Amino acid sequence: MECSRTIYDSALLNQIGSHVCQTIIFIQEQQPELLIEKYRNIPWHSSRNQLNLKAKLIKVLSEASDWQTLLKQLRRLLKALLISESFDSPILVTLLAKINRLNPHKEDKLNSSTALNNGYDHVPDKMDHDYQSLVSISRISSGVQSRIAILLLDAENLQLNLETEQFLSQVSNFPLQVKIAFANWQAMGKKDNEFHQRGYDLIHVPAGKDNADGKMIAFGASIQEHYPQVQEVFVCSCDRVMINLCNHLQKNGIVVYQVSQKGSNIEVLNTQNNQVQVHTIVPSLEKFLHQIKEIITAEATRTANQWVKLSRISKLFYQKSRLDINQVVSHHIPGKTAKVFFEETADFALHKVPEDSNIYVALFKMPHSSKIKFKNKSDLEKALAKIVNTLVTKTSKNYIPIETLSSKFNQQHGQPVSKVMERLNLDANFLGFLHSCNSFILEKVSDRWQVTLK
């Protein structure tokens, strides 16, 4: 008997795998009870876990000889991860509907999948036979068409991070299952890959002023034709030209949220009741550290004094970001103040003069040594241990973040530790290497690994 072979290429199977991974992440964040208990605490955000899940999906789905078989195998895989009741949920309904639209054996070959791969969009003028079958699938068990929220983003005009998306999900009364971003992606660097990984459908427009606006308005005006289950739409743009689109959607019974940015705040206006909700954009810890270091460096240069008042740093940071420095610290490290943060972070040194209420901060500078050649693993371990020993004496705790250790190694030796590991053919990442060394003890605090000497 001849073995059946799949008729679907790897790009299509990879796209299906990406949709499934994004949905599992969304379920873990929003409705973890839909996951089978043993899978609820797995870090699905991890690239490694996503790659493993995607590889498993691709392997199984590649055995399908037709589309119906592929869908059955996909459902079987999902049943291994999710409780049976999840298949009645809007999240799974929308996932299966979205995947069904990728069926390459439709009369119109320029479906959304090929449009994405080619960098151009294709939106059907009316619901064709395949779209009708998509709607039928969305009635799976409940017999009712799922209601959803949709996000439209002018990516040239406004940037949304993952945390802001989660905030919008909380504002919405329906699952935020469709996200579409409009831009000239050739001019956006690697942003297209970032948005794609976050589950966006990307619509490309030619270079030119207001092209993204025009395409977004045209698409949004006919959104009910393409997504008849839509109940709410987030129109994400700071351009006032979008008001006409918002009014059009409102007249058609859709609840519209206008999303715009003012300084460090994202404002969400419900155009139905004129209520405004505000979300503050807090920089990542890495960006925050970079901003603080820039402020200290600039002030030290201006005053010719390496020590800068903490109150002065706080004032300058607020002027630049409109954020309170303690607000950022407590966001990333609950319960900590700026003073404690500077005291416990190896990048900084603190100083307090007797009979002076001010606290002074300076950048901690590792004495520079000449670039040396590491001959083996032992040489590298000794160099790292020396840095750890120096750094822990500058903190009130014995542990330092491994990112700080890596950064200090680069500063002192003029080369990234990853390059040294690569040259020595050490088959591990930096964390794995530290685990393999006898000199170190590692501890995970929140989501950050820290290291000290044994």
Question: Do the beta carbons of residue 339 and residue 359 sit within 8 Å?
Answer: yes
Q: The sheet that has 308-309: what strands, in order across it?
A: 308-309, 359-363, 348-352
- The SS3 call for residue 389 is helix
Residue 367, pLDDT score:
53
Top CATH class of 147-281 equals alpha beta
Q: To 10 degrees, the CA torsion angle through 78, 82, 86, 91?
A: -60
Residue 264, pLDDT score:
77
Residue 353, pLDDT score:
67
The H or E element containing residue 248 is: helix 243-251
Task: Give the span between the Cα atoms of 64 and 117, in whole angstroms.
Answer: 22
Residue 159, pLDDT score:
83
What are the structural domain ranges in the chain? Answer: 1-140, 147-281, 285-363, 377-453
Residue 81, pLDDT score:
92
Q: To 10 degrees, the CA torsion angle through 25, 26, 30, 36?
A: -50
Contacts of 291 (CB under 8 A, 6+ apart): 283, 317, 320, 321
Question: Do the beta carbons of residue 31 and residue 92 sit within 8 Å?
Answer: no
Question: Do the beta carbons of residue 293 and residue 347 sit within 8 Å?
Answer: yes
**E-only strand ranges, 297-439:** 308-309, 348-352, 359-363, 400-401
**pLDDT beneath 50, residues of the chain:** 1-4, 107-145
Q: Which residues pair with 277 in a beta bridge?
A: 268
Residue 121, pLDDT score:
36
